[in-house]
Structures are given as structure tokens and as C-alpha cells.
Amino acid sequence: MGSYTLALKNDGIVVAWGDSEVLDPLNGMSNVIAIAGGDNYGLAIRSGPPTPVITLNPTDKYQLAGGSVTFTTRGVGVYGVSYQWQTNGVNLAGATNATLTLTNVQTNHVGSYRAVVSCATGSLTSSPASFNLVTAPLIVSQNPPTNPVAVYQKDQTLSVTISSVGQTNGFPISYQWKFNGTNIGDNSSSYSLIINSNTLGDYSVVISSAAGVVTSAVWQITGLTYTGSYIDVGTLAYHLSTNAVGRASGYSGIVADQIVLGNWTNPYPAAYSGTNMVFLTNAIWSTNFWLHGVQGLSATCIGYSNGVQGRYLTTMISPRHYLKAHHTQTPEGMLAFLDTNNVVYWRTFVQQVQVGNEGNDTDVGILDADLPTSVGYLPILPTNYFNYLPTNNSAYVQGIGMNQEMRIFGQPMRFGLSVVAWSSMATAPFGLGTNWNAAIVGGDSSDPERLLVGNQLILASKHYGPTGGPNYPFLFDAINEKMHYLSTNNSVGTDYQLSQFSLTNWPAFQ
């Protein structure tokens, strides 16, 4: 038995509330002069003639066309009771039972129903109950009402407001969103997306219930507005992507277009041996390679004297210093650098130290002698890069990756404070298509990730794993400190430090 409360009003009406089954007979009883209650009963003492009491009122009903519904009431009286059902205040012929059943319901049945409960000393009328014919959902509004103006990398929400009789009374509705005719999204009245080249197209939603189906008008997202966004024309991100596309013009993105060294060995990945070293002087980067003529292409070594592949490479950040992934340990023998004139320069590893803690997986090393300018070294992305490149973890720019096959490919990149992340499945706005991308595999650790700014490769990171690596601008001061230590410890006459590549030619987007 649930708890309940009774109250007697000045007009003789009983008001009851709570969750007990005694409420129905008492609630609304009239001509009452006293009340009482207990665990299993409620008591009301009435004055006047013994008119009937309604102990059960009919409730609202919902049904599909052609179905049936039943209204029920219940009354008690000292001398028994009789019933007369009414609709919209008019008696229904033959409807004289405690229940009223409507069959094959149609629109003409929609209305209000009540019962008059009578005995020899008087009558009482039940509270009204309505019958509602359930029909197909109706779209009241769409938001936005017309095709939205899409802003690149901004959130866009599409939604509908519907009216559906019976939605919360046994006839729920469902939503199925579609993009270019293909099902997407959850069962919701709204759908949110981020605007980019992959989300342009036609959107609609199909709304269903047991009564029928209705489809929204189509939202057509056909254009991008870049003004004020990180990919706006003139920004660095726009330049990075279009510059890479311009460089790749006339190339298909197949492996042959992306291998730096021609006629070296087959199949890939390349294995160094005494019989194939001559092929290293047949480099194609200065003739028909898609990145021919860029500065900094030679700054990454092509391998080691004891290496079985172009694995775990080092990238020069000064004529004497290099960066390398800590987890790949120290170089496996002498380092081979192929300059832009197809001349091989050999250098010996001298010392290597870790930058900070193991979390950044970065080592700085020093060689036994400077490399010539024909090999060169890479500047790194400056510490204020976040004024020019997005750091919201969803915006990609066009990067340039490299792996152990000496293959240089498109690598869509996004920047965080301590990590640079990439995905071979993603695309950069205006950048190279996914056929230019390559997945990172075992053995590609430590190979460089770069940006092509104008005619210069800029070092941003190295592979720590298949999807990311350390953010070198974040480690700028720590790397310089280790470079100074290595120069001093090895009596190098020049105290080399990192070079930052200026980005002031592009407008800041923040």
C-alpha cells in the first residue's frame, strides 16, 4: 500500500494525492463533511441523498485508423447504478455499460467521451476523456530552413521539429538521417557535423511511426566559406596544401613517383649491400621526383653502413647535429648522406643524449664533422606556429612524410601542444588526395615529418608510432640546451643552435 494524503475543502470536495489505490474512489468526491484514512482504506462521510460515487474515471485513448479502443468507468451506489455514455455531450445509443468500445476508429470518432452514472436518488458525470486518432508525423519546422552557408571546420547542426499524435502514448517515432542517400547518424531529431570537403552534399531525415513516414526537405551543403577560418585564402594552411598540390602536378601519387632514389633496389624496402651502393648516386630528386629542387631534401640520411634498410634515420638540424627517436637507440654504424649533386658523404656518430624525459621520445646527436651546404639541414617550425596553424585537434594541414623505403608522401597532420598527429586516411583541405598518403609501419620510426613552406622543407616531428610524434617547437629550448652541451663536450668550435623558420609572411588566424 503506498502513502497518500487526503484533504477536505470548504466546498465539500475531497482532494487526494499520493500513490495509493484508495485515491480513485475518493478524489473529487462531493458533499463530504468528514474524512479519515489508514493503511488500507480511505473514508469519507457525505451529507445529503445517497447519490452515486464514481470510483474510476475514463482515460484518454490513442489508436491507429481501423483499430479499437475501450473507455472504462466505474460507479457505486446504495441501490445500484446505471451508465449512459456521451460523446461531445450527446448520448450514444446503446452505450449503457461500464465500458464503451469503439471499433474501426476513424476521424469521425475523434472527440470527448464521458459517462453519466445514475441511481434512483441522482446522477454524477465522469470526467471527460478524449480519443485521438494517431496519424503520420508532421514536420512543423526545419532548422536551418534553407540550405546553410557552410563555414569550413565549423560545427553545423541540422534539426527538425515534429508533431506526432500519440508519440508518448504508445506510438513512438524514430529518425533516420541520410547523407547523399546513405544512412547516417543516431535516432535523434538533430544531426551535427563538421564542415569539410568530405561532408559536403545532401542531407535529409526520414521520420517514422506506426502511422506512417514523412521525409524532410533536403538540406544541400554545396559550398565552403573560408573567411575567418584557418584555411582562408592567404593563410599558411591554405599555402601548405596548395603548394604541395602544385608540386605534385603531373604526378599520380603511385610509389614510383614517391621514391627518392632511382634504380636502387627492388623490391622495396631497400637493403644496403656492397653490390648496390653504386645505385645511391642515381638519385632522381633533382630531375623528375615530385619534390625535386626543394631545400632540405638531403638533410635526412639515406641509411647506415650496418643498416639493413633505410630504418631509424637521423635528420640534421645543424651542419653537425641531428634529431632521432630515442626508442630507436643510436645509429647503426656510419651515416650516409646523399647531397643534391648525388655525392655520398659518410659521417660517424660521436655522442647522443636524450631531450627531457622519455615521454617525448627525442634524442639529439652529434657527428664527427660538419656536413657541406649541399647536404644542408632543416629549420624547424617556430615556437609561435600556433598563430598560423590550428591546434584544435580536428583541423588537418598538408604534411610531407618519409619512411624506410625512401618514399616521400602526403601526410595530413594536426597539431597539439606536445604531439603532432597524422592519419593516412585523412585529407587536408585543398591538399593531396589519399592516393598520395602512406601508412606508417614498423621500421619507419624516427623518419621525419615536415611541412613544405614555399621551397623549403620545415621539420615538425618524427615518427614515434603509426599516428604521431613529438612536437619539436614544444621542445625548442630543451633541444638547444642539448645541442650546446654536445658542442661543448666535443669541442666543436661553433655553438650551433636550432634555426626557426619565420612564418610572418602569412596572416595569423588567431
pLDDT per residue as tens digits for the range 60-89: 999 999 999 999 999 988 778 999 999 998
Q: How far apart are alpha carbons 292 and 308 in whole angstroms?
A: 26
Q: State residue 359's pLDDT score.
A: 67
Domain ranges of the chain: 4-48, 54-134, 140-225, 227-503
Mean pLDDT, residues 189-204: 89
Cα–Cα distance measured from residue 447 to residue 441, given in angstroms and rounded to the nearest whole number: 11
Instruction: Give the Å distances, CA to CA, from 88 to 75, 113, 134, 197.
Output: 21, 6, 19, 59
Q: What SS3 state is found at 169?
A: coil
Strands 362-367 and 321-325: antiparallel
Name the strand (E) or helix (H) holding 258: helix 255-258
With beta carbons less than 8 A apart as the criterion, state whether 192 and 155 touch.
Answer: yes
Q: Which CATH architecture has domain 54-134?
A: Sandwich (2.60)
Per-residue pLDDT, 23:
59
Question: Average of pLDDT values for 177-197?
Answer: 90
Using 50, 70 and 90 to split pLDDT, how confident is the model at 300? very high
CATH fit for domain 227-503, picks 2.40.10.10, 1.10.3210.10, 2.40.50.140, 3.30.70.270? 2.40.10.10
pLDDT at position 31: 73
More confident site: 326 or 262? 326
Burial of 292 (0-12, 13-18, 19+ CB in 10 A): middle
Cis amide prior to 267 (ω within 30 degrees): yes
Coil, strand or helix: which one is 493?
coil
Q: Which three cell numbers stand for residue 356?
A: 627531457
Fold agreement between 54-134 and 140-225: yes
Q: For the domain 140-225, what is the CATH superfamily, name and number?
A: Immunoglobulins (2.60.40.10)
Q: Convert the pLDDT of each residue in 215-239 to its tens digit.
A: 988 999 987 788 888 888 899 999 9
pLDDT, greater one: 107 or 9? 107
The pLDDT of residue 272 is: 62
- Indicate the pLDDT class of residue 145, thresholds 50, 70 and 90: confident
Identity of the amino acid at 242 = T
CA atoms within 13 A on the CB side of 263: 8
- For residue 8, pLDDT beyond 60: yes
The count of other CB atoms within 10 Å of the CB of residue 110 is: 14
Average pLDDT, the chain: 88
Q: Classify residue 418 by burial, with Cβ atoms within 10 Å: 0-12, 13-18, 19+.
A: exposed
Q: How confident is the model at residue 28 (pLDDT cuts 50, 70, 90)?
A: low
Q: What is the pLDDT of residue 103?
A: 96
276-301 mean pLDDT: 81
